[in-house]
A and B are shown apart, each in its own frame.
Chain A
Amino acid sequence: MRLWQVAEGVAWRTLKNIFTNPSLLFPSLIFPLFFFAAFAGGLSRVSKVPGFDFPSGYTAFQFVFVLLQSAAFGGVFTGFGIARDFESGFARRLLLASPNRSGIVLGYALAAAGRWLFTALVLTIAAIAAGMNVGGGAVDLFGLYALALLVNLSGILWAGGVAMRLRTMQAGPVMQMPVFLTLFFAPVYVPLGLLKGWISAIATVNPVTRLLETGRGLLAGSPPHVLLAYGLGVGLAAGFLAWAMRGLRSAEAAG
């Protein structure tokens, strides 16, 4: 019970901060929209490359990448808030006041999910307005958003773990650069089969590639390796949960 009360309080405060402060809300909302516009709008001709075989078109192809990217960065941006809480001294008071400190991590994770769901809603409306083709049914779409939610959870647990260890806003690049690189070392612009050379080698072993392929398949209505993708999603989230909890212990030890 205490766990849930702490989580609810932290999540409510974080969401209130985000939704009442445009400088916190807009970057995580605008960036995905503008990546979507730049990729789906500027690069649509790439779908004419011989061998490009995604049935729902380039807008849908890019939508899934941007959706997963927004999920990951929704988590990372929430991680910035954790670092800010430590810098301002609020997090120390929170640690003192919480009867169950695991609830703090859960609260931030709930806030990251709430923030991302709003971004996902706006992004989806923009994509539909842009004429995106959706081949998948309701179950497929639910699966796509559930997969993205796992990415969001991984993002906040990773960034939260960093924030609780370093406890400064200067840790921002450490939180976002690995996420940025991992996402872009996947088949962002063309399917994996069309990648050549070193990027193909990296993309083949990059777990984000499988998430992306399954996500795109769900949107098109014919998802490949679903179990593998969800297994990877759950595995990443579990791994980063351990990372975040150890970060919490590190913050507790630092006093």
Chain B
Amino acid sequence: MRSIARTVRQPASFIPPLIFPTMLLLVNSGGLASATKLKGFPTDSFLAFALAVPFIQGALFSTMNAGTDLARDIQTGFLNRLALTPLRGSALLAGTLGGVIVLGQVQAAFYVVVGLVSGVDFHAGVLGILVLFAFAAVVSLGFGALGSFMALRTGSGEAIQGLFPLLFVFLFISSMNMPRNLMEIGWFKAAASANPISYLLECVRSLIITGWDGQALALGFGVGVAIAVVAIGLAAVALKERLART
């Protein structure tokens, strides 16, 4: 509840994750609309193609939010005081991540509305939109846990902010603006194929422009769950160490 309340009370925590990805979506979908004329491009609407991006970009903001909030708790000594109570570490982590997941659901709802208002036809229908919300929860959980891990390791909000460009590199070196099969430059295609963000994007994109694509869904959910499991494991170990030190 504290994590959610803190997010709601700070417009700077939830407005940029909604507005900035939407602006980038509008700019890119306007500027790259003619790319849909390329032979083999999977849809005639670049907006529909690019709508997957804000879902994942919003999740990257979750990393920052969760990490910055937890780092602030460490810097202000709040975590030290919590360590004196009978509160279990897993409950603390679950609480922090709960707030991130709620924010992720709000973001997903916002982007679905942006898509519907802009005339995007969700090919997987209403059920697909529900799957999209489930996927948003998995991805928010994963990236939120990653942010928590970084915060627990560094204990510094500034260090978390400094990692932001790195997360953006992952987003840009992916199939964000072009399907992988249409990429011409070999090294970029290889980097995008090795980048897990590509599979997260393609999972969301498949629900919007293809319908039900089992392979894209399996890869997307598989990568999302793997990130979540690894990140939660790392965060749990880091929390244990952090609490032991206090």
Given contacts A34-B173, A42-B185, A190-B35, 17 further A-B contacts (CB under 8 A): A23-B162, A30-B165, A34-B168, A41-B188, A42-B183, A43-B35, A43-B177, A43-B178, A45-B182, A48-B38, A181-B27, A184-B31, A190-B31, A190-B34, A196-B30, A198-B30, A200-B30
Task: State A197–B30 Cα separation when bound (angstroms).
Answer: 8
Give, as a whole number of angstroms, the nearest-CB distance from A195 to chain B.
7
A188 at the interface (CB under 8 A from B): yes
Task: State A194–B37 Cα separation when bound (angstroms).
Answer: 11
CB contact between B31 and one of A37, A41, A42, A187 (< 8 Å): that residue:
A187
B60 at the interface (CB under 8 A from A): no
B130 at the interface (CB under 8 A from A): no
Asked whether A45 lies within 8 Å of B178 as measured between CB atoms, the reply is yes
CB contact between B35 and one of A31, A46, A199 (< 8 Å): that residue:
A46
Total CB contacts across the A-B interface at under 8 A: 85
Asked whether B184 lies within 8 Å of A45 as measured between CB atoms, the reply is yes
Interface of chain B: mostly helix, strand, loop or mixed: helix
Highest count of chain B CB atoms <10 Å: which of A41, A184, A199: A41
Interface of chain A: mostly helix, strand, loop or mixed: helix
Task: State A41–B169 Cα separation when bound (angstroms).
Answer: 13
Closest to A41 in B: B188
Q: How large is the interface on B (under 10, 10 to 19, 20 to 34, 35 or more residues)?
A: 20 to 34
A-side residues, CB < 8 A to B, are 23, 27, 30-31, 34-35, 37-38, 40-46, 48-52, 181, 184-185, 187-190, 194-200
User: Given the known A-B contacts A35-B172, A38-B172, A42-B178, are A51 and B188 also in contact in the complex, defined by CB atoms under 8 Å?
Assistant: no
In chain B, positions 1-58 with a C-beta closer than 8 Å to chain A are 23, 27-28, 30-35, 37-38
27 inter-chain pairs at a CB distance below 8 angstroms, sorted by A residue, are A27-B165, A31-B165, A34-B169, A34-B172, A37-B173, A38-B172, A40-B185, A41-B183, A41-B185, A41-B188, A42-B177, A42-B183, A42-B185, A43-B35, A43-B177, A44-B183, A45-B38, A45-B178, A46-B35, A46-B178, A49-B35, A49-B38, A185-B27, A187-B31, A189-B28, A190-B32, A190-B34
Give, as a whole number of angstroms, the nearest-CB distance from B53 to chain A.
13
Task: State A46–B183 Cα separation when bound (angstroms).
Answer: 9
Highest count of chain B CB atoms <10 Å: which of A31, A44, A46, A184: A46
